[in-house]
C-alpha cells in the first residue's frame, strides 16, 4: 500500500530530478491479454502501479505528478470496458482518498466533467475539497481530458471576458488552462511502446523531455521509474540556448 515520505514543495532539485512528471499509463489491456485475464483485470493491476509510482514520487521529493487516466478518445472503446473503467475509478477514489489526505497529497482531477455521472462528480468534488489545503505531492489525474479541449475551453473563457480580449498572450492562455499555476512538466513518460503524446497537455509539453518505454503500465514498477528518472538526469536541457551559454 502507500508509504509516503516528506515533501519540500515546488522548487528545482539540486540532484537533477524533475519537479513535475507527466505520464500516459498505456498497456493495461495488452498486459491482461498476455496473462489471459480480462481487460478490467489489467486496469485493476494498473491501479497498483499508480500507487507505487505515487510512493516513488514522494520518496524522490518530486513535487507534481500528472497521470492521464481517460482521454476523450477513449469513449470509442467497448461500452463495457468504459463502464468498468469509470466504476473502478469511482471505487479507487473512495477507497484511497483518506490515505492520500493522511499523507498530505493534494488531488486535482482535470478534464470535462459535464458528461460524467453525478455520483462520480460528487466524489471528485469531495476528494478535492478534502485535500485542497494539503502541502505534499500535487497529484493531477486527467479524466475525460484532451489537450485540445483544454486549450479551447481556456480560450473560450478569455473571449467571454471583455478585458482579456485586449491582451491574449501566452501568459494569459497559461492562466486559464487546467493546470494553471503549476510548473510545466519536466519529464513526460509513456509506457506500452507507443511513441506519441496522444492529445495530452499539448500546451504544457512544449519543452518537456520525452521518455518512451516498451514496459506495459502494470509492469512499470519503482525500478522502471528509476530508469526514466536516470535517463532524464543524463540530459542537458537548453531551452533554445547553446551549450556555451549554459556554461
CB atoms within 10 A of CB 52: 18
Which is the catalytic residue, given 16, 61, 74, 199? 74
Burial of 241 from C-beta contacts in 10 A (0-12 / 13-18 / 19+): exposed
Q: Report the largest interatomic distance among the alpha carbons of the chain, rounded to a whole angstrom.
A: 58
Q: Is the dihedral of CA 38, 39, 40, 45 positive or negative?
A: positive
Instruction: Round to whole Å and give the CA distance between 135 and 7.
Output: 8
Instruction: Round to whole Å and give the CA distance between 180 and 78.
Output: 33
C-alpha cell at 164: 482579456
At residue 111, the 3 state secondary structure works out as: coil
C-alpha cell at 3: 508509504
| 26 annotated active-site | yes
Nearest alpha carbon to residue 117 among 153, 100, 93, 152: 93
Which is the catalytic residue, given 26, 96, 150, 186? 26
Residues serving a catalytic function are 26, 74
Amino acid at each position: 500500500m502507500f508509504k509516503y515520505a516528506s515533501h519540500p514543495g515546488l522548487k528545482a532539485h539540486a540532484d537533477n530530478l524533475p519537479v513535475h512528471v507527466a505520464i500516459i499509463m498505456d498497456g493495461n489491456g495488452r498486459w491482461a491479454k498476455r496473462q489471459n485475464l480480462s481487460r478490467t483485470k489489467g486496469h485493476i493491476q494498473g491501479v497498483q502501479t499508480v500507487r507505487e509510482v505515487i510512493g516513488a514520487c514522494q520518496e524522490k521529493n518530486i513535487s507534481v505528478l500528472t497521470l492521464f487516466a481517460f482521454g476523450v478518445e477513449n469513449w470509442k472503446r467497448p461500452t463495457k470496458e468504459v463502464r468498468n473503467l469509470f466504476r473502478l475509478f469511482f471505487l479507487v477514489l473512495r477507497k484511497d482518498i483518506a490515505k492520500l489526505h493522511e499523507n498530505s497529497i493534494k488531488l486535482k482531477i482535470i478534464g470535462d466533467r459535464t458528461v460524467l455521472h453525478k455520483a462520480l462528480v460528487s466524489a471528485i468534488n469531495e476528494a478535492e475539497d478534502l485535500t485542497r489545503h494539503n502541502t505534499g505531492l500535487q497529484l493531477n489525474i486527467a479524466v475525460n481530458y484532451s489537450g485540445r479541449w483544454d486549450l479551447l475551453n481556456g480560450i473560450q473563457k478569455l473571449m467571454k471576458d471583455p478585458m482579456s480580449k485586449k491582451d491574449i498572450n501566452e501568459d494569459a492562455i497559461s492562466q486559464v488552462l487546467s493546470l494553471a499555476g503549476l510548473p510545466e512538466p519536466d519529464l513526460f513518460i509513456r509506457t506500452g511502446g507507443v511513441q506519441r503524446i496522444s492529445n495530452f497537455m499539448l500546451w504544457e509539453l512544449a519543452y518537456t523531455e520525452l521518455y518512451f518505454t516498451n514496459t506495459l503500465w502494470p509492469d512499470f514498477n519503482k525500478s522502471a521509474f528509476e530508469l526514466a528518472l536516470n535517463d532524464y538526469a543524463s540530459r542537458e536541457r537548453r531551452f533554445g540556448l547553446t551549450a556555451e551559454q549554459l556554461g
